[in-house]
Homo-oligomer: A and B are copies of this chain.
């Protein structure tokens, strides 16, 4: 199955921590979103270009598994991959590393809407992924 990959590097901000002293789990989905934006930009198709055409990438499922916490000022890498699930569904996989130690994994699934109506994944996007 064709897929596109990239690595997105990020540093933990203080306001992303909680009183357990670690990154609050909800923030992983914010990091994942940043990584998606980064990958789509690398593919030459940044989100704002989509928005201008009335296209939205809508999250329908999200999953996170935390093996080791990350803390304030950690610098971590998200290894992100994008693949096509079917005509209507994209999926992204995520692996969070610090150095070579895996800390978390996750995935998200998305459909595409145009002017709020569900559409098939546009051909240009299929082509970008298959290239």
Main secondary structure of the interface of A (DSSP, over half): mixed
Given contacts A18-B19, A72-B48, contact A13 B25 (CB under 8 A): no
Contact of A19 among B62, B63, B72 (CB under 8 A): B72
In the assembly, how many copies of this chain are there?
4
CB nearest neighbor in B for A63: B63
CB nearest neighbor in B for A113: B20
Q: Which residues of B contact A37 (CB under 8 A)?
A: 13-14, 73
| A interface residues, tally (CB under 8 Å) | 36
Chain A residues 54 to 101 lying within 8 A of chain B, measured CB to CB, are: 56, 58-67, 71-73
Check if A127 is an interface residue, CB within 8 A of chain B: no
| CB-CB nearest 6 A-B residue pairs | A17-B19, A26-B29, A63-B63, A26-B26, A48-B73, A25-B59
